[in-house]
Amino acid sequence: MNSSSLILLLSVLMVSLPLSSAQPVWGYNCSNNRNYTRNSSFAANLNTLLSSIASGAPLAGSRGHFHNLTVGAKQGDDFASGTCLCRGDLSSTDCTSSCMDAAKSIRQVCPTQKQAIGWYRDCVFRYSDQPILGVMSSSPWFCSANPANASNPKLTALLQSLGPKALYGPKYAAGSRRVSGSLSVFADLGCNPDLNVSDCSRCYQDIINYIPSCCHGKAGGAILTPSCDSRVETYQFYHLSADSLSPAPTSLSSSTSKDYPERKRKSLEISAIAVATFLAVFVVVGIWIYRRQRKARHATNEEDIEDIIAVESLQFDLAAIKAATCNFSWDNKLGEGGFGEVYKGKLGNGQEVAVKRLSKNSGQGIAEFKTEVILVAGLQHKNLVKLLGFCMASKEKILVYEFLSNSSLDRFLFGNHKKHSPQSVKAKMFHLN
């Protein structure tokens, strides 16, 4: 601490002063950075704060252990803000009495300072000309070590075990830990209830960080800051009964359920159940949709096949078509298009036909094939080649058209005035296809 700006009066020095406080005092911190005169408006507001803070209603949820009050406009020069945090094991009546005593004594110790802190046995009293409610501060800090030495006091482990319990509700926890044989250490940990969980957690960690420079090798002591405080002794100094104290976990970072507050653990359980339920419903709905789509596709395929079979009168046997085209001989090939090849064939009854053999990789499925059979078979026009039938077997999809004789095919493809070679006819058929 800076001795030019801070006045630290230990309780040992306070014995000679005629203070009205009836409770033991750890120490004071009076800041000389900001001073006021006795007749100023700030002095009037501070008098109102000191005389009224203990009589006001405590902060909701603090179990009567935290009082706060502000007087004056926040941006004004006469603004005054104060808090009083009592030890969590006190009754609300004892807390009110302790805050009243602290308000009287701190005025005598810091008579002209606008910022002051008093650390008492039962409470921490603080006032300032700046807003302090909801603002975490772990500096300045005060330390008083137990004069008794201890080789393994386990102070850090004990405070770490109390940390999770002192983060919620009234933000206070107390507990004990056996050191060796019959020796045990007792500790409490408290934080201002107006602070959030994150701020209190950081303040507790600062206290733990202060242990090496304050209480190393000692059996206990007190570490006090503006926003949180802790005390460790070799005897039970707090008034909580043994039944009200739950066993201390081994460390602050332990992942067992004992380390977590009950409310947080229940929240995690509810969240886990909700997520599991959602996933189960999602999977069931997904399976139902998949099966329905699969059934619909299967029904569609069956319907397509049934429609083809419905025109059985147009169906040719694959063996007959192979025989008619000399097993799809190259010599019988007339051309090739996007969906397959076209062959000339001669049926058993002597009728010449044009056979369109669809490629397996043509992309034309059963639906397209069925549509072409049904639609083309019903069309009759002098300029259209007549569809005689189809064949669908052994993964083959074949259309059988009427083959026009050379003379009429010539006229259909090229008109009446020119003669063309068979190769030219094939080329025209290729483009026509």
Residues in the annotated binding site for ATP: 356
| Contact by Cβ (8 Å): 339, 359 | yes
Reading the block at residue 418, the tokens are 């020119």
CA gap 293, 270 in Å, rounded:
35
Q: What angle do CA 329, 330, 336 make, to 5 degrees?
A: 115
User: Residues annotated in the binding site, as ranges?
Assistant: 356
| Contact by Cβ (8 Å): 144, 137 | no
CA gap 227, 171 in Å, rounded:
11
Nearest Cα to Cα of residue 153 among 99, 216, 200:
216
| Contact by Cβ (8 Å): 343, 326 | no
Helices (H), 240-334: 262-309, 318-324
Q: Which residue has the tokens 């100023």?
A: 40
CA gap 52, 47 in Å, rounded:
8
Q: How many H-runs (helices) and E-runs (strands) does the chain carry?
A: 10, 16
List for the chain the helix, strand, coil content (%; round to 5): 40, 25, 35
Query: Pairing mode, if any, of strands 340-346 and 333-337?
Result: antiparallel
| Contact by Cβ (8 Å): 95, 64 | yes
